[in-house]
Every structure is written in C-alpha cells, then in structure tokens.
Chains A and B, each alone.
Chain A
Amino acid sequence: MKTLRKTMCMVMAFVMIAAIAAAGATAYADDAIKIGGTGPLTGGAAIYGNAVKNAAEIAVEEVNAMGGVQFELRYEDDQHDAEKAVNAYNTLKDWGMQISMSSVTSKPAEATSAETYADRIFALTPSASAVAVVEGKDNQFQMCFTDPNQGSASAQYIADKGLATNVAVIWKNDDVYSRGIYETFMAAAGELGLNVVSDTTFADGNNTDFSVQIADAQSKDAELVFLPMYYDAASLILSQADAAGYYPAWFGVDGMDGILSLDGFDTELAEGVMLLTPFNADSADERTAAFVAKYQERFGEVPNQFAADAYDCVYAYAQACEAAGVTADMSAEEICAAMIEQFTTMTYDGITGDGMTWDASGMVSKSPKGMVIQDGAYVGLD
C-alpha cells in the first residue's frame, strides 16, 4: 500500500510538471520583425543577462507603440557558456529569428557569432566586448567598446586627469575580459608614464581571499588601484581593503557596473569608486531620464550600462529598419544585407553616446564617460 502511494505521488508530480508547461506567451502583431538574443539569465553572470533582456523589452514596447516598425523580442538563457549559447541560438533559429542581438557575454558571443555569420543573420551585440566577436565577420557589430579599447581609454583617462602616478593592478588571469583590458592598459600606461608599482592576479577557485594582492598594493604605496574585472570579485576586494585599512582611489571598467545592485553588498564601501562607462544613469538628458525612470518603476533598480546598450541596440535596429524599409516578410538573409549597408553608413544618437558610427570591422566609435559612485549612485565625473 505504501509503495503504491509513493508511486501515485510520483505520477502526480509528473502531471504537475506537465501542467506548468502549458504556459501562455505574449501576443505580438503578425507583421513584427523577430529579434532574438541569448544571455546569462541564470547563474553567476545573470545580472548582465537580465539587465539586457529587461531593457530590450522596454525598448521594443516603446518602438512598437510608435507605430512604425514592429518588433517581437525573445531572449534565451545561455548561462554564460558557449555550448549552451549555441543551443539557445538554435532554439531562436527554430522560432524564426530574423535579426539577432547576439549574446550578452564575450565567449558565448564568440561561439554564436560563428553561427550567425554562417547562417547570414545580422547580429549587433549590446555588450560582448571581445575583439574575436566581430573580427573577420562582416555581419557582426558591437554596441559596446571592445576590451582593448577600454584598457587604453582607462589609462588615458587616469593620466589626463592626473588621478595618480603610482598605480596598482589586480586582474583575473583566467578571464578573457580581464586579460584583454589588462594588456592594453599596461601598454598604454607605459607610454603615458603611469608607474605600475603592483601587478597581482587571481583566478577562478581562488577568488575569495584578496589579502595578498591588497597587501602588495598597500606596501608599495599605490595611490590608485585599477580593477579590470566583474563586480562580484571587485566587491570582495573593496570590503577586504576596507578591513585592511587601505583606502586608495579605485578605478574600474564597465564590468564594475552592477556593483550597487549586488545583494548583500554594503554600498558605502563603493563610495568614491571611479569607473569608465559610456552610460550615465544620472544624466540630465531627457531620453536617458525617461528610460531610467521606466526601468526603475518596472524592475526596482537603476539600469546599468549593459541595459543602456541593449536599449540602444533596439533603437538602432528600429532606425536602420525604417531607413532600409525592412518588412517582416523579408528573409533573414535579405535583412542581413540591408542592415550591413545601413550600419556602415548611418549615424545613431542614443543614450550611450551621440553620433555613434560603425566601420566595416563592426566596432563602434563613441566616447566613454568617467563616472564616480557618490551616495550609492553613479554620478558623472566631468
């Protein structure tokens, strides 16, 4: 009797799962152009994936409400893994994706860009910053800066503003993103006369204790510590430096963006942290303010730079589709040819910069803004 009950329980559990599967989806107009993208919606990098997805949803709603081109958006989870990103991309292809927003993070984007290139689907990534994503592929474009670009721009900024002469760098030596920025930062720092006194690394697996790296920077009197890494490790460095009584100037790149919305992080510690990012959520610009207000109302947090890039991606697509007269019944390949033509010739004004242009390499040209964290919010440095 008891085993029968257990069996019944199991059967019921299966039935319940099947019932959840019968969930409905949002209805879109038939004449909508299908935009698909993959990103880490779960797992360690989920803040980026969800920011991109949320912002893209807002932008698609706004574009659709204007009555011109109609978009339909779908995001699939890739868990920041190249294999799963290709699976997610194939799911989107089955769905009938006509334009791609590539992937949110670099390695997955490198894998999916090879697929979109082979399938002739146009892709514009909001945030995958590795050079390999666009290199040698005529239909891959980026809305964000490339990694090397960020490293040299950071060094340039620190030297131009006279922020420090003795600089420490802590970076993650098994991470593409961190290494890419580090290498160009070091090259630019050498040219600009910045004195890198401490150069320490960490890797996956030993990314919780930073006492050695912090002590090294402290003992060599670094006035500024450059942190080319994602916010999760950076948050630990900030709190451990605080515990060690070390208060240099901190300088991060766009991966630092997101530190304020990290659960359980004392935002007091991030006070005064500088970062280079093309987006300023406190900007007085009318469009930025409207976007930030809408995002905050819907998702309860200040959008980061990834969100802003995604928002711009959708609007750039809207502008290009209008100009090229793209309609929903065109094939992905036809749209791809039209988009390449548009993106290499058009100028786009968005919330992450005015007068953005793209060259045939797919890399964007726009100017970065320096930001500093004050009272738990990002404020423009200039």
Chain B
Amino acid sequence: MMNRNKNFGRNLLTFAVVIAAYAILQPMVLAGSVSATLKGMLVPICAYVAMALSLNLTVGVLGELSLGHAGFMSVGAFAGATTAIALQQAVASAPLRLAIALAVAAVFAALVGFLIGIPVLRLNGDYLAIVTLAFGEIIKSIFNNLYLGLDDRGFHVSLLEDRTGLAEEGRMIIAGPMGIGNIPKIASFTGGFILILLCLAVIFNLVNSRQGRAVMAIRDNRIAAESVGIPVTKYKMMAFVISAAMAGAAGALFSLNYSTVVANKFDFNTSILILVFVVFGGLGNMLGSVIAAAALTILPEALRSFSNYRMLIYAIVLILVMLATNNPTLKMLIGRTIPKRKGAAESA
C-alpha cells in the first residue's frame, strides 16, 4: 500500500511537470515572447520526449535493450507524412489531420513492431539488442529504396527504382533516397503536448496493471515468471508493440514539423541518442526521461556560442552530469537541501 502511494505521487509529479511546462510555454509562444530558436524546438522536443518514453517502456519496464528504436520512428515518420499529404484535400482541419496522421503512424509502427517482435522476442539480452539494431538498418534501407506515388487512380508502389508510372498530375510522395518533400507543416506544440500526456497515461496505467506487473516480473526474473505460469512471449510482445506504436506517433510528429524527411535521419545514431536520453533520465524513470530528452535536445543549441568547440563541450557536459548524478557527495548535498527528495534520490 505504501509503495503504491509513492508511485501514485511520482506519476502525479510527472504529469504536473509536463502540464506546468506547457502552461508556462504556450501563453509565451502565443504572446510571441519566446525566441525563434526555442519556438522552433518545441515540437522536436515533444517528439524526442515521446521517443524516450517509448524506449523507456522497452528498456526500463520490459528490460530488453532495443538499439533499433529509430526504425519505428522512421516507419511512423513516413506513414504519418504520407497520410497527411494524402488527406490534404479531404480533411481541411489541420489538427484533425495531425491526429489522423499520428494514429495511422502508430498503427503502422505497431504492425512493424509486431512483425519484428515475432523473431526478436524469442531472444534475450545482447542477442536481442544486436537483432533490433539490424532491423533498424533494414527499415532504413527499405525506405531508401521505396517509391510511393499518388494519383487519381490511387497509390502506386515500387522498390529499387521509380516504376510507379504516375499520371501527369500525380504526386510522388516517397522518392527513395530523396525521402518525402513538401510536407505540410501541421505539427503543433499542443499536439505534441497531448501526445506526451497520452504516452504517460498509457505507460502508467500499464505499469500499475496486472499485465504490467507480469511484464516487470519477466524483467526481474524470466525463469521465475515462467514457472508461475506467466506467458513470457505474450507479455513481452505486448509491451514491445505498445512501445513501437508510441515511437511511430513520435516519428510522425517529428516529420510533420519539417518540410522534408529522409530515411538516413533515423539511423543507428538516432537510436543511440534516444537510448542516451533514457539512461540519462534513469531506467524506468518516466519523469527522468521527460527531463533528459528535453534538456539534451536544447543543450547543443544552447551551446552555439562556443562555435567550434560546441560538440566537444556537449560531450564533456554529458560525462560530467552522468558523474554528478551518480556522485554520493552531491546526492547527499541535494538530499540535505531538499529533505523531501532524500528518499527519492536513494530509490532512483
């Protein structure tokens, strides 16, 4: 009972932080008192936060290391942008189109997550990590060679080279390595905010449910979980597919914020970047993921005044913060100044 209350308080705090950030920033954006740099980064920050939450579900709650999460983001980005372009005439309202695009992206990514999950989730630990990495690369290669056009006769798909044979007024949507161009920029900060709230609600509900406890039991000891009759693959698959769906929605939000998107953007480096957010914020710690993703997305931009030394400083700051958050003296200091945090710092 005690434990449950603590969890509840922590979840409430996570929601409070996210809602407070939105409540402070949104009026400032509307009043135009936010710099163009920060304003331009609000939507990507939301996308990265959703990505970090999604990966934290796989790594922190399910306990499996996924190194190909950018692949799901990629599926979502391409599916979402394609949907938004295809519905440009049919659906006039931009927020509605954004919602549909995000939903379609989540469905596609979940589908891909399910297909990938069938072989991958039979593996454990390092093997699973390497195979997810390979799947991330496969998804990248597919999108680099995929051609998708739309004309009045419907969609036309071809692989490797452009054999879509579009009608004169048709539109090439995915053009192989050139990716998607001329994307309608319909992603909004409010949309991103709602996506984060949805992700948090799904994760917290899952973790506190019967299914969530089964998932965590598998994480803590697979053999013990199996021996008490928990169907391991089923629960692993459930968490993995939910995680993929969230990553897909995040990818769609990301791509709809830029006029162009290419498959090479979602490579191994992006997967690792998201993993850095998760590790930085703490495995299984959703509030940590939210803060880490936001802070580490802003940091490289905030360091622009260093010009040539920017990325070096970024790396140094990363190392220092990692050391600082694991330093017992500093933890004690923080614990002393904020007595209430003491318990939380120890359990983290």
A77 to B181, CA, bound (A): 22
Q: In the assembled complex, which residues on chain A have CB atoms less than 8 Å from the CB atom of B99?
A: none
User: Which residue in chain A gives the minimum CB-CB distance to B35?
Assistant: A94
Give the residues in chain A near B328, CB-CB below 8 Å.
3
Asked whether, in the complex, the Cβ of A82 is within 8 Å of the Cβ of B310, the reply is: no
A324 to chain B, nearest CB (A): 26
Given contacts A13-B320, A173-B145, contact A87 B137 (CB under 8 A): no
B27-60 near A? 1/0 per residue, CB < 8 Å:
0000000011101110010000000000000000
List, in ascending order, chain A residues with CB within 8 A of B177's CB.
172-176, 179
Tell me which of A42, A90, A111 contacts B259 (CB under 8 A): A111
Closest residue on chain B to residue A91 by CB atoms = B37
User: Are B261 and A82 in contact (CB-based, < 8 A)?
Assistant: yes
Report how far A17 CA is from B305 CA in the complex, Å: 12
Which of A4-12, A241-249, A299-307 lies on the face that meets chain B?
Answer: A4-12
Q: How far is the CA of A129 from the CA of B329 in the complex (A)?
A: 55
B176 within 8 A of A: yes
Interface centre among A77, A84, A172 (most CB of B within 10 A): A77
Chain B residues lying within 8 Å of A13, measured Cβ to Cβ, are: 316, 320
Main secondary structure on A side of the interface with B? helix
Q: Does chain A have a CB within 8 A of B301?
A: yes
Q: Give the Cβ gap from A142 to chain B, nearest Cβ, in Å.
A: 16
Q: How far is the CA of A88 from the CA of B300 in the complex (A)?
A: 11
Interface size on A, residues (CB 8 A): 45
- Give residues of chain B (96-142) contacting chain A, Cβ–Cβ below 8 Å: 137, 141
Question: A7 and B330 in contact (CB under 8 A), knowing A41-B308, A91-B37?
Answer: yes
- Separation of A234 and B80 alpha carbons in the complex (Å): 36
Q: Please give the distance in Å from B283's CB to the nearest CB on chain A.
A: 23
Is B20 an interface residue when CB atoms closer than 8 A count as contact? Answer: no
Please give the distance in Å from A163's CB to the nearest CB on chain B.
27
For the complex, count residues of B whose C-beta is within 8 A of A.
47
Whole-angstrom CA separation of A374 from B348 in the bound complex: 65
Give the docked Cα–Cα distance between A235 and B185 (Å).
39
Q: Which residues of A contact B330 (CB under 8 A)?
A: 7, 10
A88 to chain B: which residues have CB within 8 Å? 304
CB distance from A184 to the nearest CB of B (A): 14
- Which residues from chain B contact A84 at a C-beta distance below 8 Å? 300
A76 close to B304 (CB less than 8 A)? yes
- In angstroms, Cα B47 to Cα A83, docked, is 12
Which residue of A20, A77, A86, A203 is within 8 Å of B258 (Cβ)? A86
A132 on interface, CB distance cutoff 8 Å? yes
Contact B181 A90 (CB under 8 A): no
- Bound-state CA distance A113–B258 (Å) is 11
B262 with A132: CB separation less than 8 A: no
Residues of B within 8 A of A7 (CB): 327, 329-330
Which 6 A-B pairs give the minimum distances between C-beta atoms? A114-B259, A90-B40, A174-B177, A174-B144, A90-B36, A93-B36
Q: List 11 A-B contacts (CB under 8 A).
A: A82-B260, A82-B261, A86-B258, A89-B40, A90-B37, A110-B181, A111-B260, A174-B145, A179-B177, A179-B178, A205-B137
Since A21-B306, A86-B258 are in contact, a sample of 12 more A-B pairs with Cβ atoms closer than 8 Å, ordered by chain A residue number, is A17-B316, A20-B309, A41-B308, A82-B258, A82-B265, A90-B35, A90-B40, A111-B258, A114-B185, A173-B144, A180-B178, A204-B267
Chain B residues near A (Cβ < 8 Å): 35-37, 39-41, 44, 137, 141, 144-145, 176-179, 181-182, 185, 258-265, 267, 300-301, 304-311, 313, 316-317, 320, 323-324, 327-330
Q: Which residues of A contact B (CB under 8 A)?
A: 3-4, 6-7, 10, 13-14, 17, 20-21, 23, 41-42, 76-77, 81-84, 86-91, 93-94, 107, 110-111, 113-114, 130, 132, 136, 172-176, 179-180, 203-205
